[in-house]
Amino acid sequence: MKPPTDEIREIVARALAEDLGSGDATSEAIVPEEAAARATIFQKQPGVLFGFEPAAEAFRQAAQPTAAGNPDPVLDPMVAEGQWRDAVPAAAARVAGSARALLAGERTALNLLGHLSGIATLTARFVEEIRGTGARLLDTRKTTPGLRALEKAAVAAGGGSNHRMGLYDAILIKENHAALAGGVGEAVRRAREARPDLPLEVECRDEAEVLEAIRAGAGRLLLDNMDLDGLRAAAAIRDDAGEGAPSLEASGGITLDNVAAVAAAGVDFISVGALTHSAPSLDVSLELKPAG
């Protein structure tokens, strides 16, 4: 789920405006406008890199205010995105162009690259924990405002799968919806009638709601904050339902320490909000030298 180029351009423009304001006062005072430079971006921690495109866009946009005839900076990746690397520190990309542009775009480029690589790396750690179980790892809507498309692309780069993008592309009936509708079954009926074109999932808190949702024809059940016994019981009910039974998604309180046990309980999907709201940035840095 890669965001379109114009969306990346807008995200980077907002980030650069926040950092540059009226201009890079330090570089404009010290670095000649005509100076060219080359730089190397280093990956300093084991993990998965993702975010070269927004990083490159940051350097390109930072070059726009200069008028000394230097070509736009070009970022040349030295490693494929989505691949785990243990041998660090190691070079990840080279950038060449206007020295002022490289200095002005450096922090925005590294912020985006480090943040997105951190998400891809944490995702890869979770995926490795459940490898071979048959369960798939999902992200959530617990994303940084304005960065959802990029963050979900980072999850995919780390080996995870994307859940719904927003409130518009799937029906997810949670306990508040069910309470307002008068119950899980009635909520499913209304949703099916109103939007038969959308996939439908319903949150279930206990075995009774699991049975009610299955009888109502829900395609997927969200088992939120259920303990392992509850997940196993839900899986048994699903298995007894036979052909056409819904898939099961576990969510809530899932960590690297317990995700394998959750997967082994018989669920099909595991959604983890921490992939996007709590992933630590991967440590990346930039070393710059004069061109020549």
Instruction: Read off the pLDDT of residues 155-189 as tens digits, 9 standing for 90 and up.
Output: 999 999 999 999 999 999 999 999 999 999 999 99
Q: Which residue has the higher pLDDT, 5 or 47?
A: 47
Q: What pLDDT is stored for residue 242 in this prediction?
A: 85
Q: What pLDDT is stored for residue 292 in this prediction?
A: 72
72 phi-psi bin (left φ>0, alpha ψ -120 to 50, beta other): beta
pLDDT digit string (tens) for 174-228?
A: 999 999 999 999 999 999 999 999 999 999 999 999 999 999 999 999 999 999 9
Q: For the chain, how big is the Rg over CA atoms in Å? A: 23
Tell me the mean pLDDT in the region 110-129: 98
Domains of the chain plus CATH, in order, are 5-127+280-290 (3.90.1170.20), 129-277 (3.20.20.70)
**Distance of CA 57 to CAs 35, 67, 71, 102, 243, Å?**
20, 18, 14, 11, 49
∠ CA 213-234-215, nearest 5°, is 25
The sign of the dihedral angle between the CA atoms of 108, 112, 115, 118 is negative
Report the percentage of the chain scoring pLDDT > 90.
Answer: 91
Pair 204, 223: CB distance under 8 Å: yes
Strands (E), 99-189: 136-138, 171-173
Could you give the residue numbers annotated as active site? 107, 142, 174, 203, 224
